[in-house]
Amino acid sequence: MAIKFEARHLLTLNDDREIFSPGAIVFDETGILYVGAPDGYSQPVDQEIVIPEATIMPGLLNGHNHAAMSLMRGLADDSPFFEWLTEHVLPVESRLLPEDIYCGTLLACAEMIRSGTVGFADMYFEVEQVAKAVQESGLRAWISRGLTESSQDKLSESVAFCQNWQGQAQGRIVTMLGPHAPYTCPPQFLEQVAEAAVSHGLGIHIHLSESRDEIRQIHERYHKTPIQLAYETGLFKARTLIAHGVHIQEEDLPWLDGLVGGVISCPVSNAKLGNGILPYRMLRDVGVPVGLGTDGPASTNSLDMFLEMKAMAWMQKVRDGKPESFSAEDALWAATRGTAQVLGHPGGRLAPGAPADFIVVDSRQPHTTPEWDARANLVYSASGADVRYVVVNGAILLREGIITTFDERALLLEAEERARRLREGKG
């Protein structure tokens, strides 16, 4: 069934960064059929939706998440990073049931759909439950099981999961291997993960250079930086998603030369945990792709990628001391094309033949009026609450603010009950 959306603006985020005002998009379940002026498509369509006060743009891609941690949102806020992780988060995670992870992931999916995210890269455990929640939600996901030294025996299970779920949910699920970080995975284990990734054609999702404590620990143990250690263990022989990268240094750049994949910045989480600001300009200047993510909802509290775009722009301006050093268009690019490039995904843009993944954002609200620059309004003024439609793989997941794929109200009640049990210390 061919459907046409027409709106006040259409941002393509294609290679020429074209904008159509007004603009239209026509799509079906096979992908995008047309992008351009509303009167430029002459074929009949089955449905036409006109929203004259809105902007159509590519759906946002969340490049780093731990979605099921939505059940721990607000846990031990304002604690130092390693204290927050080891003394608060890990004890609660040890009590999670598989059903909790399914519910927490679906809760995160609801938040992401509502705020314009069409796909996310996730690292957690009980990944079959994560995949089932993604399948039900209609979103895309790049799913990896988090692996640590204590879970070395889970590597073969992770490979089996990857083989079983690769391409499932109408191709919306992509599987990866997920060694957690070099401070939880010794070099020998990282080498085993690298070999498995190359052997089975899988990508790798790993936390690297996130905090000063990590840099110190890895240097004391191995006399290397995390980036150098990852390279020497063979991780970069596969497509690698580097989560955070806050403390990548100039001395790391030779080790990133030729990297397939890239770095996902999580500016809100990195600021909230006091970890710092990604050296974006340094990475950009040597051609390392940079995308955008939220991190898990326990550390960042919000999965709203509009907030991440704002934070990325603000913090890069602060880091460089130049307001012109990172633009609204740079932020839009990072949240769409940049993340897609890191993931090896053909989306993040609106063009014929690309996946039919896009959102419609209300552009006639008090906080987005008047409109001097549509791109600036989207980044600096709009929020996820302004999203009216979300389309993924040609299916409408959000229609005028209503999620179409699952019962959101019942989910919220279940999530609150499961969180109550966890607060009470029950398994």
12: domain range?
Answer: 3-58+351-401
Are the beta carbons of 226 and 182 closer than 8 angstroms?
yes
**Mean local confidence (pLDDT), 130-154:** 94
Q: Is residue 426 part of a domain?
A: no
Give the model's pLDDT for residue 267: 98
Distance CA 131, CA 164 (A): 11
Instruction: Say whether pLDDT at 426 is over 80.
Output: no
The pLDDT score that the predictor gives to residue 304 is 98
Tell me the percentage of the chain whose pLDDT exceeds 90. Answer: 94
Mean pLDDT calculated for residue range 374-401: 98
Q: Is the same domain home to 28 and 38?
A: yes
Residue 194 counted as domain residue: yes
Q: List the helix and strand counts (H, then E) for the chain.
A: 17, 17
How many separate domains does the chain show?
A: 2
pLDDT over 70 (residue 257): yes
Could you give the angle at the alpha carbon of 322 between the alpha carbons of 115 and 319, nearest 5°? 70
Residue 122 makes CB contacts below 8 A (sequence gap 6+) with 65, 66, 67, 105, 130, 141, 142, 143, 144
Question: Residues 301, 361: one domain?
Answer: no
Q: What is the pLDDT confidence band of residue 85, given thresholds at 50, 70 and 90? A: confident
Q: In what order do the strands lie in the sheet with 203-208?
A: 60-65, 117-124, 140-147, 173-179, 203-208, 240-244, 261-265, 290-292
Same domain membership, residue 291 and residue 369:
no
How much is the average pLDDT of 168-191? 97
Contact 178, 205 (CB under 8 A): yes
Mean pLDDT of the chain: 96
For residue 264, the model assigns a pLDDT of: 98
pLDDT of 413 higher than 70: yes
Query: Which percentage of the chain shows pLDDT scores above 70?
Result: 100
> Does some domain include residue 107?
yes
Q: Is residue 420 part of a domain?
A: no
pLDDT value of residue 139: 98
Question: Do 384 and 329 belong together in one domain?
Answer: no
pTM for this prediction: 0.97
Q: What is the CATH number of the domain that holds 11?
A: 2.30.40.10
Give residue-wise pLDDT tens across range 197-254.
999 999 999 999 999 999 999 999 999 999 999 999 999 999 999 999 999 999 999 9
Strands 402-403 and 19-20: unpaired
Predicted confidence (pLDDT) at residue 376 exceeds the cutoff of 90: yes
Q: Are residues 29 and 151 in the same domain?
A: no
- In this prediction, residue 81 carries a pLDDT of 79
Q: Domain boundary at 326, 343, 360, which? A: 343
Residues 256 and 337 in one domain: yes
**Does residue 425 belong to any structural domain of this protein?**
no
Look at residue 407 in the predicted model and tell me its pLDDT. 98
**315-324 exposure pattern, b = at least 16 Cβ within 10 A, e = fewer:** bbeebeeeee
Q: What is the CATH number of the domain that holds 214?
A: 3.20.20.140
| Residue found by looking up tokens 């326990």 in the block | 298
Average pLDDT over residues 96-125: 98
Residue 142 maps to a domain: yes
The answer to whether position 210 is within a domain reads yes
Can you give the pLDDT at residue 427? 62
Task: Please tell me whether residues 327 and 268 are part of one structural domain.
Answer: yes
Q: Is 74 left (phi over 0), alpha (psi -120 to 50) or beta?
A: left
- On the question of pLDDT at 132 being above 90, the answer is yes
Q: Give dist(CA 155, CA 192) in Å, integer.
A: 9
52 and 66 assigned to the same domain? no
Based on the fold, state whether residues 112 and 29 are members of the same structural domain: no
Two tokens, residue 299: 């550390």
In a domain, 427, yes or no: no
Whether omega before 98 lies within 30 degrees of 0, making that bond cis, reads no
Q: Is the pLDDT of residue 394 over 70?
A: yes
pLDDT tens-digit map of 317-334 = 999 999 999 999 999 999
Q: Are residues 312 and 385 in the same domain?
A: no
* Confidence label for 150 from pLDDT (cuts 50, 70 and 90): confident
Nearest-angstrom CA–CA distance, 224 and 218: 6
Give the model confidence (pLDDT) of 180-194 as tens digits.
999 999 999 999 999
Helices (H), 4-153: 81-83, 90-93, 98-114, 127-137
Q: Helices 98-114 and 408-423 meet at what angle, rounded to 10?
A: 130
Whether residues 143 and 284 share a domain: the answer is yes
E strands present in 70-222: 117-124, 140-147, 173-179, 203-208
User: Do residues 361 and 232 both lie within one domain?
Assistant: no
Angle at 191 between CA 66 and CA 270, to 5 degrees: 30
Q: Decide: 402 and 148 in contact? Cβ < 8 Å.
A: no
Residue 237, classed as helix, strand or coil, is: helix
